[in-house]
A and B are shown apart, each in its own frame.
Chain A
Amino acid sequence: GESVGLHLPTLSVQEGDNSIINCAYSNSASDYFIWYKQESGKGPQFIIDIRSNMDKRQGQRVTVLLNKTVKHLSLQIAATQPGDSAVYFCAENLSDTGRRALTFGSGTRLQVQP
């Protein structure tokens, strides 16, 4: 399939290590955030979300941290596997306006070295 994110910042990690992917969001009023994973040739896949009334949320091998003071979001992946190699996007939304469209960050490519 075609490559996504040819010119994106890249994070390279060793298999088994933990990965941390960071995102600075733009709207201080945003109250809902999502992380997506996009593999080459595929659409974005939902990973985990968090609302602004929380600062941490955990899923299976993933944790999202939200720091509203500095408008920063991070995705932590534990025990990174080769299948985690993809481009990761954060997205934000201001849900109470009724406008449900997402604003996406620029993305980070994660490369997992065996």
Chain B
Amino acid sequence: SAVISQKPSRDICQRGTSLTIQCQVDSQVTMMFWYRQQPGQSLTLIATANQGSEATYESGFVIDKFPISRPNLTFSTLTVSNMSPEDSSIYLCSVLWDGDTQYFGPGTRLTVL
């Protein structure tokens, strides 16, 4: 399977600021995804990061709040903009590998004060 890393692993931020999370894969992959996991909850898809085009966002998530970049087949970033305490979550990237199987990174634990 692919090896996925995320930076930062955790952060504590002030409300109103923005944080960019990086996701790096050790192999080229066609599809990358960003999920959010709120405290005590399951995973919810934010968007599919498309290489060379705009990300595809799920209902309830918008580009102004969660801009995503995918400059190549091994890297993507998710920015959480104008943060509020409600944005405190674990943010996870995943990649599609070997057909339909998704593998996840270790996550970025964000706390907004």
Contact = CB atoms under 8 A, between A and B. Distances in A.
Interface of A: 1-8, 32, 34, 36, 41-46, 49, 89, 91, 93, 95, 99-107
A72 B48 CA distance: 27
Nearest to B111: A2
22 contacts: A2-B39, A2-B90, A2-B109, A3-B40, A7-B40, A41-B109, A43-B92, A46-B102, A46-B103, A49-B100, A49-B101, A91-B102, A100-B31, A100-B100, A100-B102, A101-B33, A101-B45, A101-B58, A102-B43, A102-B102, A104-B43, A106-B42
The 10 closest A-B pairs by CB, nearest first: A6-B40, A43-B104, A104-B43, A104-B42, A7-B40, A43-B107, A43-B106, A44-B104, A101-B45, A32-B100
Q: Is the interface of B mostly helix, strand, loop or mixed?
A: strand
B112 to A, nearest CB: 14
B33 A93 contact: no
Contact of A46 (B42, B90, B101, B106): B101
A44 B31 contact: no
Given A89-B42, A100-B96, A100-B100, A42 B48 contact: no
Interface in B33-56: 33, 37, 39-45, 48
B14 interface: no
A91 to B, nearest CB: 8
B82 interface: no
Interface of B: 1, 4, 31, 33, 37, 39-45, 48, 58, 90, 92, 96, 100-107, 109
A89 B1 contact: no
A101 B48 contact: yes
Contacts of A102: 43, 45, 102
Given A6-B39, A100-B31, 13 more contacts: A1-B109, A4-B40, A8-B40, A42-B106, A43-B4, A44-B43, A44-B104, A46-B1, A46-B103, A102-B102, A103-B45, A104-B42, A104-B44
